[in-house]
A and B are shown apart, each in its own frame.
Chain A
């Protein structure tokens, strides 16, 4: 019903929870209070996890990290996937991956420059994160096509940003999905920036959601800082695609409160007052207002949550730091199923070189 009622071409945007924490009852998706509370808790821990990553980076233990500060509700979209669904993430999906069950320590480990962090736990249907912007929606199309061919009632969800929507690959992915009616959900997290470029300079179209119509399937623009809208859109889109009704596009309008990555300085391109304007729309703040107004949450619960959450992320950071560093042999282990002889020789050469160096250094040291 959401996709039918809200037409992005008419400038409509689905919002259920307003910034003051009031819910529009006739649009409310079927979410019991306990579930809403749980979502709030996981989103809060997500934010703590994000902050922990930022401080790990500042300590020097991490290379580059892409924070999702301000995008917690959109990241919580992952909570609505079923185990049989595939998640096809970009580099900004740390929160979503965490929610889907990837251990936080693994995610930290990856950003610490250790590829082993990208080994997904057995049984979790998640592709490795995509760094090449816009490459992964095509993979989601193929994956969901495979589900369809095998008769599985499952979807693949492609996560990408507003910047990515300018890539040819993303257009091609949507076109394929439309033509082959694949069970794909295109999930655009529009955080209004691609590094320094504001969304308005990314496309002259009013919305990204409206593109769906030109590929022959429905699109929906939602307030991506509103967990109720996220829940409503995800639930409906996933049910529709699993039922064989073809692909769906959801544009989640949010705002990147932090830098693009830890290597980026947003003061170069963003007016200082701009962030303040968006702070009242903070997805956590809104949800907390709602919970408090329903007497489901209070100061004590919040304190307790922060304490537990902090312990959880500190534990993950400790675990990540404690993992023994990857060894050079790891470089050679996965390029091919079996090492060709010349590559084996390269590996042996490196081993010999390192042994020799160690001997030289021991001699001098």
Chain B
């Protein structure tokens, strides 16, 4: 096994599936010669040609609308949206069209397509390059939304997404694209979509996170351990359809819940998780549920970005609060 970062792990998954499935094609802005602005598709155009790794004109709505058509026509399109802030340009195609297609066609066209999107803040980028609009997508019926938190999951989840037979929005936390290196199996494997992972066992409280926030959650859990509290950390991995059963089960054991995400708080995924835990495990709760999140404001530019993004210290503060209650 090689130690890889997220970018290389994703590149490996794309490469392996391209080799396995000749119906797969990659399309997007700068994905070919440039290898993507984050280099996730690096080298693939050289290997598979410009007809399978396609540099498209600058038009997100066209990229996703055409991907729908390609999928309906029997291809497996993998579209890249360069940064999450630009997915809004294609929202009609995504929410009104792609998400509803299975239903509209009464099951005839279950679209096999994957939309890869670099996601979230923390890299000191310009406006619209640091948001986390995951709740918009998770709120859309018919879309599967995935967000890996480490290289091995990234590869396995992407391979699973490519074989799911559903439209998947694959959110790639760009803050940890190169910040984490870990063992990634070279062979073929999938990580199940729709299943959360218990990343760390614990008994005093549950922390739920996903994507780049997993690092903060695990670091907070480390510090809590040193202070004598044991945190169970759950990586949601699939944001929609959401595996709240794993969370509920954990809360039944620990009695306390902290949800950490970098997206704005109001109507964020944390609200839904809290509601489900309230519905199913209210009597297990020993303290009010704590949400550690971004603010309901515009994501600030780099100077104030670190104040906006919840870090392990804020997760820790949230944990202390539920432990004190």
A interface residues (Cβ-Cβ under 8 A, vs B)? 63-64, 91, 110, 112-115, 131-135, 163-164, 166-169, 194-197, 201-203, 263-264, 268-269, 325-326, 328, 330-332, 334-335, 340, 342-343, 346-347, 350, 353-354, 356-357
Q: Are B314 and A326 in contact (CB under 8 A)?
A: no
Contact with A along B254-283 (1 / 0, CB 8 A): 000000000001100000000000000000
- B308's closest neighbor in chain A, by CB? A331
Pull 29 A–B residue pairs with CB atoms less than 8 Å apart, ordered by A.
Answer: A63-B302, A115-B301, A131-B85, A133-B86, A164-B58, A166-B57, A166-B58, A166-B59, A167-B58, A167-B61, A169-B89, A194-B29, A195-B30, A196-B32, A196-B55, A201-B55, A201-B57, A202-B57, A263-B37, A268-B34, A269-B34, A326-B300, A328-B304, A330-B304, A331-B304, A335-B297, A346-B297, A353-B314, A356-B317
B215 interfacial contact with A, CB 8 Å: no
Interface centre among A135, A163, A264, A331 (most CB of B within 10 A): A331
For residue B57, which residues in chain A have a CB less than 8 angstroms away from its CB? 163, 166, 194, 197, 201-203
Known contacts A331-B295, A350-B295: A197-B29 contact under CB 8 Å: yes
Q: How far is the CB of A328 from chain B (nearest CB, A)?
A: 4
Q: How far is the CB of A322 from chain B (nearest CB, A)?
A: 15
For residue B30, which residues in chain A have a CB less than 8 angstroms away from its CB? 195-197
- A332's closest neighbor in chain B, by CB? B297
Q: Are A326 and B295 in contact (CB under 8 A)?
A: no
Contact with A along B280-313 (1 / 0, CB 8 A): 0000000000000001111011111101100001
Q: Are B55 and A63 in contact (CB under 8 A)?
A: no
**Bound CA span A203–B58, Å:** 10
Q: Are B307 and A166 in contact (CB under 8 A)?
A: no
Stretch among B102-110, B123-131, B220-228 lining the A interface: B123-131
Known contacts A203-B57, A330-B300: A195-B295 contact under CB 8 Å: no
**Bound CA span A197–B305, Å:** 31
Q: Are A357 and B313 in contact (CB under 8 A)?
A: yes
Contact with A along B78-106 (1 / 0, CB 8 A): 00000001101100000000000000000
B139 interfacial contact with A, CB 8 Å: no
**Bound CA span A131–B84, Å:** 13
Considering the complex of A and B, which 7 residue pairs feature the smallest CB-CB distances, nearest first? A113-B302, A166-B57, A196-B34, A163-B58, A113-B303, A113-B301, A63-B124
Q: Are A346 and B55 in contact (CB under 8 A)?
A: no
**Bound CA span A135–B127, Å:** 14
**Bound CA span A325–B296, Å:** 22
Known contacts A197-B58, A268-B35, A328-B307; 12 additional CB pairs below 8 A are A64-B125, A113-B304, A113-B305, A132-B128, A166-B62, A168-B62, A195-B37, A201-B57, A202-B58, A268-B34, A342-B296, A350-B307
**Bound CA span A133–B61, Å:** 12
Identify A331's interface contact among B35, B89, B307, B313, CB under 8 A.
B307
B200 interfacial contact with A, CB 8 Å: no
Cβ < 8 Å to A, chain B residues 19-37: 29-30, 32-35, 37
Q: Are A326 and B128 in contact (CB under 8 A)?
A: no
Q: Are B297 and A331 in contact (CB under 8 A)?
A: yes
**Bound CA span A250–B128, Å:** 28
For residue B307, which residues in chain A have a CB less than 8 angstroms away from its CB? 328, 331, 350, 354
For residue B59, which residues in chain A have a CB less than 8 angstroms away from its CB? 166-168
Q: How far is the CB of A239 from chain B (nearest CB, A)?
A: 32
Q: Are A343 and B296 in contact (CB under 8 A)?
A: yes
Known contacts A63-B125, A328-B307: A335-B301 contact under CB 8 Å: no
- B50's closest neighbor in chain A, by CB? A201
Q: Are A115 and B126 in contact (CB under 8 A)?
A: no
**Bound CA span A326–B265, Å:** 23
Q: Are B126 and A63 in contact (CB under 8 A)?
A: yes
Q: Are B296 and A346 in contact (CB under 8 A)?
A: yes
**Bound CA span A135–B304, Å:** 25
Q: Are A342 and B126 in contact (CB under 8 A)?
A: no
- A166's closest neighbor in chain B, by CB? B57
**Bound CA span A54–B259, Å:** 41
For residue A114, which residues in chain B have a CB less than 8 angstroms away from its CB? 301, 303
